[in-house]
Amino acid sequence: MKKNLSFGIKAALLLLIGISALTGCERMEQQAGILSTPSAKQAIATISPVGENSATGMAVFTQDSDQITLTIEVQNVSPGIHGVHIHEYGDCSSPDGKSAGGHWNPTDVEHGKWGEGEFHLGDIGNITVGEDGTGSIELTTDLWEIDTGSDIDVVGKSIILHADADDFVSQPSGNAGARIGCGVIVLAE
């Protein structure tokens, strides 16, 4: 009997240690912006330099009910304001980033500023980059979907970081300049 009780205590302790370890892993994933909840959908894009640039970063799309939050963090970028958009093709293979095509515009409207009048679904806005070369932007919307295959699904598109600020007026792309960073949007697993 004493032997069985000792085994039961050991098993309970091992179970608690296992749960504790899993909770720690979940906490680390949450800190990295990656959810492990089966019902949550996420898509990510790892931003790599285009051409001779050094821009890097990560874009994470996280769905919560009918809302999708996009968080983009960039590094190794010159200080200032830089346009960032979703482009129509998930292709970053060309040295100038133009293989990603133009702005993603499934609703066929004029380029503009997100949330004001007409705007492409890819018109995210501008990221302000500090003297340390880092910057971030966050946007929450119900205008996108993740992994549905619909016209408004972000998976299979790309994130483009531009050399200059988006002026929100010039057609068709806001006069944001060269493409300095690109990342293909894929479903997170």
Q: What is the pLDDT along the chain (189 residues), one digit of tens a residue?
A: 444 444 444 444 333 344 444 444 444 344 445 444 445 799 999 999 999 999 999 999 999 999 999 999 999 999 999 999 999 999 999 999 999 999 999 999 999 999 898 899 999 999 999 999 999 999 999 999 999 999 999 999 999 999 999 999 999 888 999 999 999 999 997
The pLDDT score that the predictor gives to residue 39 is 58
Taking alpha carbons only, the member of 116, 96, 109, 121 closest to residue 171 is 109
pTM for the whole thing?
A: 0.79
The pLDDT score that the predictor gives to residue 32 is 47
The pLDDT score that the predictor gives to residue 117 is 87
Burial class (CB in 10 A: 0-12, 13-18, 19+), 65: exposed
